[in-house]
């Protein structure tokens, strides 16, 4: 299964893969390459996302996209909490190539305040957490609206995580099967 690489220069977006650095909840580099991939259906939805965001004056910043099953296992071993990390036995939408973690930025590449950082495993990261000021609730609502209009479904426990509807219809992919060479 060949996945499509997301190219930031061609699509006027930012990519800062958390797991291609030590700046993530494991504090370990999981990916060896800072490249993002998606299945064709998710890639097409992302293009809609980028166009809508651009028309609204925003830019997309991607934290994670396709995550090989091998990487999912490493994350689960570090934090086996099914509220925030999918059990690799069941599989993650990321490991199917149909999920993306992202945020909105200004056209000057400044991230909008979403109330918590990416991968903040707490109640505050949930979509339905309302104990925030207007600006944060507004920013989260804009992101949710853009993603919904683009054909994505949300995961309630993480404001940054979106996936295609019915992700389990897509098979899980290893790094080798996907041909991404991330690990």
Catalytic entry in 5, 10, 41, 158: 158
Q: What are the residues whose beta carbons fall under 8 Å from the beta carbon of 183, sequence distance 6 or more?
A: 30, 31, 32, 68, 70, 71, 175
Among residues 181, 175, 143, 122, the alpha carbon closest in space to that of 63 is found at 143
> Containing H/E element for 103?
strand 99-106
CA angle 61, 148, 15 (to 5 degrees): 10
Does the annotation mark 10 as catalytic?
no
Please tell me the distance from the alpha carbon of residue 20 to that of residue 63, in angstroms, as a whole number. Answer: 10
Residue 1 Cα distances to 32, 64, 160, 173, angstroms: 20, 19, 26, 8
What SS3 class is residue 31? Answer: coil
The residue to which tokens 């992700």 are assigned: 167
Pairing of strands 58-64, 14-15: parallel
Active site residues: 158
């Amino acid at each position: 299964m060949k996945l499509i690489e997301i190219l930031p220069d061609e699509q006027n977006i930012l990519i800062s893969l958390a797991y291609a650095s030590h700046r993530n909840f494991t504090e370990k580099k999981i990916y060896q390459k800072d490249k993002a991939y998606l299945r064709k259906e998710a890639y097409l939805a992302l293009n809609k996302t980028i166009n809508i965001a651009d028309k609204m004056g925003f830019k997309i910043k991607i934290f994670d996209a396709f995550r090989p099953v091998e990487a999912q296992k490493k994350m689960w071993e570090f934090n086996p909490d099914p509220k925030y990390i999918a059990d690799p036995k069941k599989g993650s939408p990321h490991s199917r190539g149909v999920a993306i973690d992202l945020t909105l930025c200004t056209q000057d590449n400044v991230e909008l305040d979403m109330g918590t950082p990416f991968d903040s495993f707490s109640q505050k990261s949930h979509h339905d957490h309302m104990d925030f000021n207007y600006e944060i609730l507004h920013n989260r609502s804009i992101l949710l609206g853009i993603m919904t209009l683009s054909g994505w479904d949300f995961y309630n426990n993480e404001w940054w995580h979106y996936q295609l509807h019915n992700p389990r219809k897509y098979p899980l992919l290893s790094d080798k099967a996907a041909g991404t060479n991330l690990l």
